[in-house]
Amino acid sequence: DTGVSQDPRHKITKRGQNVTFRCDPISEHNRLYWYRQTLGQGPEFLTYFQNEAQLEKSRLLSDRFSAERPKGSFSTLEIQRTEQGDSAMYLCASSKGQGLKGTQYFGPGTRLLVL
């Protein structure tokens, strides 16, 4: 059973640069979620896809952030013009099930450091 995978695992970038992260969910899961986790805190919801449709976005997701899931499989999260405050762990999760209560399974995360 292949779990959720994320790439890269670590990213160091300079302020103002663009970065893109990839998430590959568990293959039969139709729901995909992005979270941000800062040191000493729990994950905070960013956005959610059902198949290729982006159904919900948090207020945390500023206009510098964009997420896509073009074919309903893998997803990308892009941050444009990165700021030091964007430094965090970015987590992806996937789920299946009826309604909105399928159990979410998390990937290992991408740790971003903006210098």
Partner 1 sequence: GDSVTQMEGPVTLSEEACLTINCTYTATGYPSLFWYVQYPGEGLQLLLKATKADDKGSNKGFEATYRKETTSFHLEKGSVQVSDSAVYFCALDNNDMRFGAGTRLTVKP
Instruction: Name the residues that contact partner 1, by CB under 8 A.
Output: 4, 33, 35, 40-45, 56, 91, 93, 100-101, 103-109
Nearer to partner 1, 15 or 113 (CB): 113
Nearer to partner 1, 17 or 41 (CB): 41
Q: How far apart are the first and last CA of the chain?
A: 37
CB of 32 to partner 1, least distance (A): 13
Nearer to partner 1, 18 or 38 (CB): 38
- Residue where the block lists tokens 């945390």: 60
- Sequence length of the chain is 115
CB of 46 to partner 1, least distance (A): 11
Asked if 27 and 94 touch (Cβ cutoff 8 Å), the reply is: no
3-class SS of residue 85: helix
CB of 89 to partner 1, least distance (A): 9
Nearer to partner 1, 45 or 80 (CB): 45
- Residue where the block lists tokens 């903006």: 114
Question: Exposed (0-12), middle (13-18) or buried (19+): which is 91, by Cβ within 10 Å?
Answer: buried
CB of 80 to partner 1, least distance (A): 25
